[in-house]
A and B are shown apart, each in its own frame.
Chain A
Amino acid sequence: MEHLRAVNDMVVRFANVNGTGSASANNMFAKSIFRMGIPVAPKNIFPSNIQGLPTWYEVRVSEKGYLGRRDGIDLMVCVNPQSLAQDVASVQPGGYFVYDNTKKLHPEFVRDDIHYIGIPMTEMCNHHFSEPRQRQLFKNVVYVGALAALLDIEWDVLTGIIRDQFKKAEKLIAPNIKALELGRQYIHDHFAYPLGIRVERRDLVGDSVLIDGNTAAGLGALYGGATVAAWYPITPSTSVVNAFEKYAHQLRTDPETGRRKFAIIQAEDELAAMGMVMGATWNGARAFTATSGPGVSLMSEFLGLAYFAEIPVVLVNVQRGGPSTGMPTRTQQADLLLAAYASHGDTRQVLLFPSSPKECFDHTAAAFDLADRLQTPIIVMTDLDLGMNDHLSPPFHWDDLRAYDRGKVLDAEALESIQQFGRYLDTDGDGICYRTLPGTHPTKGSFFTRGTSKDEYARYTEDGAAYTRNVDRLMKKWETTKKYLPPPELFQESNQHAQGLLFFGTTAYPALESMDLMQAEGIGFDAIRLTAFPFNETVEAFIRDHEQVFVIEQNRDGQMRSLLINELGVNPQKLVSVLNYDGKPISANVIKNQIVGRFQAVS
């Protein structure tokens, strides 16, 4: 029988029951390879459930640094009888199937083209541990110990992770190492090792970190100066606020008085969460919320008010599968049109598209400056894959000299020096007007914030000319906005090809990998990664200068393609959709197959 063979290039999948404590063991596995200097890309595939349903954890190991999902499982660790049939079927021919053989495997699950490695995990744990919870938890550690032998993971690295993890609970170190040892010893005694697939130390990760996008966004909000977080729990965005809370407690609590330089309010719903954010920013604090598609639907009412009354807002939208409740624990990029035009009437919203945890941090921190500068909502569009999975990322940096850009806010002194204050007067000609905060000056600068039509002095009016002046100025501001947004990333100094790839967010990793795959087959592309909406001149030029542009995205309807056509007036024939919307992160093979298929169809 064939044996898969590879060094530092594999996909390992763990099949667990959720609620059994497998996450920390699986993380330990991914981290050990990362600490051996090899790029890894772990992904959680989990149910919308607390306990008892199947959950998977998948780790791609890639010496070439490919961080997108790859199809095909090389090694499966299955400790969940519920998903056994599916798990056996998903292993590639020549691959490996590690399972708990305390109970004998039913013959129907025995394939003749994969290798079985049975370890009596339950029996071993029952024998060596007495507490029921430990017996369950350590089964997970036992298989990590077995993998250490099977894949050649450095022992000191694994035990080092356990020591770091239990720094504050030292008595747990010894039993964890014992469980690892049990797994390793069982392999030593019963199997040939290492396998045909294995890992080998490299120096490929430099000073990178392994971190999830939601933690990064929460930290970005802290560094960006947010003092108010108002939110409503929703998967997959909850951990954004959790991270903000954790670090704010550590770093923003007055050590003497115990008082907090922040407030976190769990609102009654997403409507109220957005209202609290707007009340706070209207009153001069930096505030944010995090949510997912269903929350954005509810917040749309307030997003329209924020657009029209020109109130800063920072919203992190961690997208999941829609429509409606959709697939709450699966990933998509399907809120693009909803977010771009959130709310009734002629409304348009500024979007950012981070592609890595570092960008989640940078974009979220920058969003507070942008919101204050542009006096409008800034929606950071991440997704479940980026938000809830650990990603290899460059470390985040902060320049201590960086000052917050609080935008055009008049203080008492400035108000003294002007004749008459008009909240919606375009004094500078860039469409951005000056605002004042409540409580600034006894007689100058007060105005009425409202969602109705108004004149330059914020007075209610139903005069059509005044209304038109106002909404036209908002379009002028929209043009100004482009100057402030992060520029798109081009992957070539000058265009080389007639065809281009266009992608954004988490689609970037597999898109870049697919370019390598297609290059190997002699098909070359130029490429652009979008980072923001409204689109700037570079995006327009990229599309103009290519005969055909493949727009790669994770939704059914090609929403980014629609947005490009709608905003740039592009000939629809020019833009070809490459789509994946089954809830799994898009892979390089999917992209390649769709594009190559298209070429074959044409020729």
Chain B
Amino acid sequence: MTYIKPKFRHPDMPTNQIGYSKSDYEGAISTLCGGCGHDSISAAIVQACYEMSVEPHRLAKLSGIGCSSKTPTYFLSNSHGFNSVHGRMPSIATGASLANRELIYLGVSGDGDSASIGMGQFVHVIRRNVNMVYIVMNNGCYGLTKGQNSATADVNAASKSGSANLYPTIDLVGLALELGATFVARSFSGDKTQLVPLIKAAMAHPGFAFIDVVSPCVTFNNKPTSTKSYDYVREHQEATSSIDFVPSRDEIVIDYREGDSTVVELHDGSALHLHKLAPHWDPRDRASAVNRLLTAKAKGEVLTGLLYIDPGSQDMHELEQTVLQPLNTLQEKDLCPGAEALGKIMGGFR
């Protein structure tokens, strides 16, 4: 069941640049388990959209099947949503983006949805650089079907039924880097300070922006030994940097000490300020990101933060050279070549 939140609003509630308060970005009350990491990610999405002054109806939220894919109901109730079939959200998002290049597309998926049944589509949506934010709420297990291991589960992790995972873990971040993703990040549902600016930067990125968010499953996979548990991530989280997202219209007010920070300018004029940089890492160098990721993994650490960004990213529409006007607004006069042209074509078949 979906529960509708009562719309009480304090008259003095602060609003953003387009006059919306944070409650305008909320959705129905979550029906996930109390303490589920996914709810924190929903809250981060609400916060990021509020801070970015996104018009809720200019964003479309898409998902597949699973606990994670239920979350679009719990944020942005004035946005159109599409809860598709298991593992197939990327193709729906690709088609939606083709139809209207002007909206923001926010895809939400899980580790079962993306790393198993939807692996093919996940791989190819990266390859096409579809202009969207793609968040995987990654808890290493299947929640809705009661706790089976997923393909991102740790080796030897015990599922709810007690059977151990015998097979290697798929690291979606490593895969995305390998496949040429133009924006790759990892975060933790419990680290809003890091997650919110990452979502904002992902929305500003012109192309496929991937955020793998470790999001503990409190019911089935929150054992302290699990690398997807609250305790483990808190103890072993290593960040590439701390991050501020500065939209193009904002004045930069913070002074950063030279030497330990770097600025990545995005296509739309906004900027990412990264500070306390991890050693031997440059966010614009894919190879350094891969190295950094592997080093952290070897030490049993969960590397979070922005890992890689290609500021020169060209999305699918640029590659396909589509017109700037959204395809879904083209009319008969734009689309139909008419009777005379058809007559000429027919002449070629006589």
Point out residues on A near B: beta carbons under 8 Å. 34-35, 207-211, 219, 222-223, 225, 227-228, 230, 247, 251-252, 254, 257-263, 265, 267-269, 271-287, 301-302, 305, 395-400, 402-404, 436-443, 446-452, 459-462
Contact = CB atoms under 8 A, between A and B. Distances in A.
Given A227-B99, A285-B98, A279 B92 contact: yes
B144 interface: no
Contacts of B93: 279
Given A395-B346, A439-B100, 18 more contacts: A35-B350, A222-B337, A225-B336, A228-B95, A251-B341, A260-B323, A261-B322, A275-B94, A279-B92, A281-B95, A281-B99, A282-B82, A282-B96, A283-B103, A285-B327, A400-B338, A404-B332, A442-B56
B81 interface: yes
Contact of A265 (B80, B94, B342): B94
A272 B1 contact: no
Given A222-B337, A251-B341, A271 B99 contact: no
Interface string B80-107: 1111110010111111111110110000
Nearest to A34: B350
Nearest to A257: B323
A578 B58 CA distance: 56
Nearest to A228: B98
Contacts of A261: 322-323, 327, 330, 334-335
A446 B57 contact: yes
A281 B327 CA distance: 11
B57 A305 contact: no
B98 A438 contact: no
A398 B342 contact: yes
B95 A227 contact: no
Contact of B92 (A210, A268, A275): A275
Nearest 9 Cβ contacts at the A-B interface: A279-B95, A275-B91, A285-B99, A284-B328, A438-B80, A283-B99, A276-B95, A280-B95, A209-B349
Contact of A278 (B95, B341, B345): B95
B60 interface: yes
Nearest to B81: A448
A439 B330 contact: no
A271 B57 contact: no
Given A210-B350, A219-B345, A461-B1, A438 B327 contact: no
B73 interface: yes
Given A276-B98, A277-B95, A285-B100, A450 B56 contact: no
Interface centre among A207, A230, A395, A441 (most CB of B within 10 A): A395
B98 A280 contact: yes
A450 B72 CA distance: 11
11 contacts: A227-B327, A230-B91, A252-B335, A260-B320, A263-B98, A269-B120, A272-B88, A275-B90, A280-B327, A438-B79, A438-B100
Contacts of A301: 85, 88
A286 to B, nearest CB: 8
Given A227-B99, A275-B95, A209 B335 contact: no
Contacts of A462: 1
Interface in B134-171: none
Contacts of A210: 349-350
A204 to B, nearest CB: 14
Contacts of A225: 330, 332, 335-336
B99 A287 contact: yes
B223 interface: no
Nearest to A458: B81
B253 interface: no
A240 to B, nearest CB: 16
A442 B120 contact: no
A157 B255 CA distance: 82
Contacts of B102: 439
| Residues of A contacting B: mostly | loop
A263 B322 contact: yes
Nearest to A229: B98
Contacts of B301: none
Given A261-B334, A263-B98, A278-B95, A450 B83 contact: yes
Contact of B350 (A209, A247, A286, A459): A209
A277 B98 CA distance: 10
Nearest to A285: B99
Interface of B: 1-2, 55-58, 60, 62, 72-73, 77-85, 88, 90-100, 102-103, 120-121, 123-124, 128, 317, 320-324, 327-330, 332, 334-339, 341-343, 345-346, 349-350
Contact of B80 (A287, A305, A449): A449
Contacts of B97: 279
Contact of A285 (B324, B328, B342): B328
A282 B88 CA distance: 15
Contact of B324 (A227, A259, A436, A451): A259
A275 B330 contact: no
Contacts of B329: 284
B252 to A, nearest CB: 30
A208 B350 CA distance: 7
A115 to B, nearest CB: 34
A268 B60 CA distance: 24
Contacts of B328: 227, 280, 283-285, 437
Contacts of B92: 275-276, 278-279, 282
A437 B102 CA distance: 13
Nearest to B27: A448
B91 A267 contact: yes
Interface centre among B60, B128, B336 (most CB of A within 10 A): B336
Contacts of A265: 94, 98, 128, 320
Given A222-B337, A446-B57, A247 B345 contact: yes
A439 B103 contact: yes
A260 B98 CA distance: 12
A279 B121 CA distance: 14
Interface centre among A209, A228, A281, A285 (most CB of B within 10 A): A285
Contacts of B345: 219, 247
B336 A227 contact: no
A451 B84 contact: yes
Contact of B338 (A254, A278, A398, A460): A398
Given A267-B91, A404-B332, A305 B84 contact: yes
Contacts of B60: 283, 438-439
A88 B346 CA distance: 38
B56 to A, nearest CB: 7
B19 to A, nearest CB: 11
Contacts of A403: 332
A460 B337 contact: no
Given A222-B337, A261-B327, A396-B346, A275 B121 contact: yes
A250 to B, nearest CB: 9
A283 B346 contact: no
Contact of B337 (A223, A268, A282, A436): A223
Contacts of B341: 251
Contact of A267 (B57, B124, B323): B124
Contacts of B120: 268-269, 271-272
B121 A272 contact: yes
Contacts of A400: 338-339
Given A219-B345, A448-B81, A228 B91 contact: no
A398 B91 CA distance: 33
A268 B95 contact: no
Contacts of A396: 342, 346
